[in-house]
Amino acid sequence: MITGRYPNLRLRRNRKESWSRRLTQESTLSPNDFILPIFLIDGSNKRESISTMPGVYRYSINRISQVVDRAIKIGIPMVALFPKTKNSLKNEIGSESLNENNLVCKAIIEIKKRYKNKIGIMCDVALDPYTSHGHDGLIRSNQIINDETVEILINQSLLQAEMGCDVLAPSDMMDGRIGKIRKALDKSGYQNVQILSYAAKYASSFYGPFRDAVGSKGSLKGDKKTYQMDFRNSDEAMREIALDIKEGADMVMVKPGMPYLDIIKSVKEKFKIPVFAYQVSGEYSLISNAIQKKIVNKDVVVESLMAFKRAGANAIVSYYADRIDKILK
């Protein structure tokens, strides 16, 4: 509450000089606030551009070190791994997700071998990069089957934990999967593996470039509205998050980010749990293309990222993370 009134109270006084603005700023950004997504592809010595995501690339396993080296150098705490699976390896049940020689498993082993615990590894727990239909779950009679999907997600989680993944991030939005994954991890001796739940993941139109990046866009049949959340709803997000916390989530994700700042703020205020925001591919591409076309200037990047911190996010998954040291200069 403001006590006082003009002219004795002049709020512009604190804004008149740069040093004063720095002293009174309420939110800050540093490399510690970021998670860097890395897209993976088969092959050797590959760095493949993604047409819908300017400045973002897919890397073969033997080239991810150049990305991780930079992440460590600038102080990024964690990378997130996302595979582009060959179509020949996809099927109705996403069985490649359980292959210990899949791209994610190979990347975990490579990063842990080279860097030990200098940087954290986050792994997506979901079937959509591996299914021929592009959905996050098994399909029967044109319906996404919840409980049988969860059983596969449990096995996927255990495999990733066995390979050395630090943070499992179920993004599938199946009911009950956090509790069952936590129970399976603890029973198998992985009590210290963290769970970052995509607890409030909305059925959004902002995911298109990501689906290009992992190769699921062309195969996706229908939409994901029967399991991802309705963008009209906020109370439902609180229920989803409350359930996941009760089931054992260590951290929660709100996705997409900028259109859902109200959700981030509400989650932080209500639950006092680490809240992560995902500045998704559509947000990134809109901003990057607008900068390239000189519709806006590059300062909008910091402004957009600061919005997440102001809303209460502890960390941000962003495709700008590998350049954040230069962006913040």
To 10 degrees, the CA torsion angle through 270, 230, 254, 144? Answer: 120
Residue % of the chain over a pLDDT of 90: 94
Strand 57-60 versus strand 78-83 pairing type = unpaired
The pLDDT mean for the chain works out to: 96
Among residues 106, 180, 201, 309, which one is catalytic? 201
Residue from 302, 283, 127, 320 nearest 209 by CA: 283
- pLDDT average, residue stretch 292-300: 97
The pair of structure tokens assigned to 141 is 């009679």
CB atoms within 10 A of CB 45: 8
Residue 46 annotated in active site = no
Residue 4 has a pLDDT of 84
Cβ atoms within 10 Å of 97's Cβ, excluding its own: 25
Instruction: Count other C-beta atoms under 10 Å from residue 197's C-beta.
Output: 29
Cis peptide, bond prior to residue 256, ω within 30 of zero: yes
The SS3 of residue 131 is strand
Which residue in 256, 246, 281, 267 sits closest to 314, CA to CA? 267
How many CB atoms neighbour CB 114 within 10 A? 13
Q: Kindly list the domain boundaries of the chain, sorted by start residue.
A: 28-327
Any idea which residue has 């054992």 for tokens? 248
d(CA 234, CA 242): 13
The token pair that represents 267 in the structure block:
């989650």
pTM of the model: 0.95
84 is catalytic: no
Residue 323 has pLDDT above 90, yes or no: yes
Q: State the burial class of residue 34 (Cβ atoms within 10 Å of its Cβ: 0-12, 13-18, 19+).
A: buried
Please pick, among 180, 255, 268, 309, the residue that the annotation labels catalytic.
255
CA atoms within 13 A on the CB side of 236: 11
What CATH number is given for 28-327 in this structure? 3.20.20.70
For the segment 115-169, what is each residue's pLDDT rounded down to a tens digit?
999 999 999 999 999 999 999 999 999 999 999 999 999 999 999 999 999 999 9
